[in-house]
Amino acid sequence: ATPMSVMVGVGKAAEYGILIRQGEALQTAADLDTVVLDKTGTITEGRPALTRVLAADGDTEEEVLTLAASLEAGSEHPLARAIMTAAEERGLSPRSVSDFQALNGKGVSARLDGATLRLGNRRWLEQEGVTLALQDQAAALSEDAATPLFLARDDRVIGVLGVADRIKDDAADAIRRLRERGLRVIMITGDIQASADAIARQAGVDEVLAEVLPEDKAREVKRLQQDGAKVAMVGDGINDAPALAQADVGFAIGTGTDVAIESAAVTLMSGSLHGVADAMAISRATLGNIK
Ligand code: ADP
Ligand code: MG
């Protein structure tokens, strides 16, 4: 395309709230055939809320939520906000912990009263040699599209917290539009399979890559490209940044993290997934103009 037609296309896109930072993206967008969508904050609102607190024998729900909030006080993760807000609403004050650590895609840990506390997903706790509990209840939570977080004190699970997020109002519509254009749509997430599948069903996505560690999202995009796909990646988080940079066109959600926005060629200001199909349509129109 000529510089002039690219300028016109970039201007047109801006009217739709689509900020194109790299002009080539406008041309590449016409050729996309695969769209990889992050789950949390991209398909969903990214404002998860606590839905359930379960305590194992010997602990109370209040104690479980208090300990969970004590752990999450140092975390910036959306799941942490859900737990902090719920504790505050119930008038529970977090206690101060030491040796806090946040482990990407796994959870958080710290020391309190001479014990090691961990809060995160089951796979990580199993790797740490923790004895599980409340597994059936946790499975029931994930069937309802909530994410179960396991709380462990030393080597034993003492509680499970269910945290759930709604899909964006127009997500299913936007995804249907992409599929009608013949695009392959894939959801990618660090969340567990059952919770991811429940959200995917609501959103109308039938391919799900779950339990993908943050560092592996870019590798999944690369694998699709090696199979010949032209890949759009849509994401909002720090953990999506390498995949956004790896994709043929990266779309950052405008309300997402700065790191995601800086790694992507395009920013969807309103966060609506309709921006992906809109960008492709504008791309085709722009290229058509200069034939
Ligand atoms: P996503 O790809 O959906 O944005 P992440 O890679 O950020 O997910 O996290 C994947 C999983 O790791 C979460 O579903 C959760 O089980 C666990 N996890 C990550 N951070 C935290 C945290 N601060 N507290 C509890 N669990 C966490
Ligand atoms: Mg996200």
pLDDT tens figures, 26-64? 999 999 999 999 999 999 999 999 999 999 988 999 999
For residue 46, the tally of other CB atoms under 10 A from its CB is 21
Report pLDDT for 291.
42
pLDDT tens figures, 137-169? 999 999 989 999 999 999 999 999 999 999 999
Percent of the chain topping pLDDT 70: 99
Say yes or no: CB of residue 216 within 6 Å of ligand 1: no
Say yes or no: CB of residue 187 within 6 Å of ligand 1: no
Say yes or no: CB of residue 217 within 6 Å of ligand 1: no
pLDDT tens figures, 174-200? 999 999 999 999 999 999 999 999 999
Report pLDDT for 147.
94
Distance, in Å, from the CA atom of 180 to the CA atom of 174, rounded to the nearest integer, reads 10
The answer to whether 180 and 189 are in contact (CB under 8 A) is no
Atom of ligand 1 nearest to the CA of 192: 14
Report pLDDT for 18.
97
Report pLDDT for 289.
57
List CB-based neighbours of ion ligand 2 within 5 Å.
38, 40-41, 236-237
- Counting every residue written for the chain, the total comes to 291
Atom of ligand 1 nearest to the CA of 80: 23
Say yes or no: CB of residue 40 within 6 Å of ligand 1: yes
Q: What residue owns the CA closest to ligand 1's atom 20?
A: 107
Integer CA distances (angstroms), 52 to 71, 83, 132, 149, 262, in order:
17, 11, 18, 10, 36
Judge whether residue 288 has pLDDT over 70. yes
Q: DSSP letter at 94?
A: P
Report pLDDT for 3.
82
Distance, in Å, from the CA atom of 72 to the CA atom of 287, rounded to the nearest integer, reads 49
Judge whether residue 290 has pLDDT over 60. no
Type of residue at 145: A
pLDDT tens figures, 246-277? 999 999 999 989 999 999 999 999 999 999 99
Q: Which residue has the tokens 């029931």?
A: 140
The answer to whether 149 and 163 are in contact (CB under 8 A) is yes
Report pLDDT for 124.
97
ipTM of the complex model: 0.95
pLDDT tens figures, 64-89? 999 999 999 999 888 999 999 999 99
Report pLDDT for 197.
97
Report pLDDT for 6.
87
pLDDT tens figures, 96-134? 999 999 998 999 999 999 999 999 999 999 999 999 999
**215 band by pLDDT with thresholds 50, 70 and 90:** confident
Nearest Cα residue to 262 out of 225, 237, 291, 230: 237
